[in-house]
A and B are shown apart, each in its own frame.
Chain A
Amino acid sequence: MRLSREELGALFDHLVKRQRPAVQPDPAAVDAAYDEAEGLTQGRPEDEPAALFLALARRSRSLGPIARAAVPAAAHAAAFSIGLDLFRDDAELALDRLRVVRQAIEWQELRALFAQRLRPIGTGEITPPRRPR
């Protein structure tokens, strides 16, 4: 993964300092998530944001109250680290996290959802397609 364990840890440190949660994220769970994400990507950097999102979302409980910020933020950081911007808004990512928690989405589906919304940094936001009436 291009986003290092240290960077992920630093991101979580920022969120803990900002939110001052009563329960801290479990470092072992964060490590396990990183390992799982590496395994999911199978060397495909473009899958790293989705893989990290999935692996962290599965461990939401172990991340404590910062999970709702940490899981999407980690995906954005992973995207940035490979030169991409993830255009998936906070409400979509909140839904994605719950889908993972509820086991209502598989890896391949999440991977495809994220892949549709990754663009090189600086190329501007994607206009979502209009839903048919």
Chain B
Amino acid sequence: MGSAPANAEKDPTPSPAPASDVRLIPDGAILHALQRTDLDGARISAELYGDDDDDELAALVAGTHPCQRRLPEDALAASKQQAARIPTVRR
């Protein structure tokens, strides 16, 4: 079995990527999900609000949440109204 490296040098066929690397390449569903999600908005939200849902809800009511920054005016108004209807404490 000691000849494997020599054979590999002669064989131009590339070796398949190790399984750990394969998981780094997004497939269709994952790529789609990454493209359709505002990853920067989510990351900034996590930095701003951490585990504090109250702060996040307050930002949504105020219209200052990072995920609301691309909304047109009418959609932002609707978003703020919907946020205001969410109870401020757990049911």
Contact = CB atoms under 8 A, between A and B. Distances in A.
A57 to B, nearest CB: 11
Interface of A is mostly: helix
Contact-size category for B: 35 or more
Interface of B is mostly: helix
Contact of A91 (B36, B57, B67): B67
Interface of A: 3, 7, 10-11, 13-15, 17-19, 21, 61, 65-69, 72-74, 76-78, 80-81, 85-86, 89-95, 98-99, 101-104, 128, 131
Contacts of B39: 15, 18-19, 69, 73
A13 B23 contact: yes
B10 interface: no
Given A14-B30, A19-B46, A76-B36, A102 B71 contact: no
B65 A104 contact: no
B87 to A, nearest CB: 5
B27 interface: yes
Contact of A69 (B42, B70, B90): B42
Interface string B80-91: 001100110111
B46 A90 contact: no
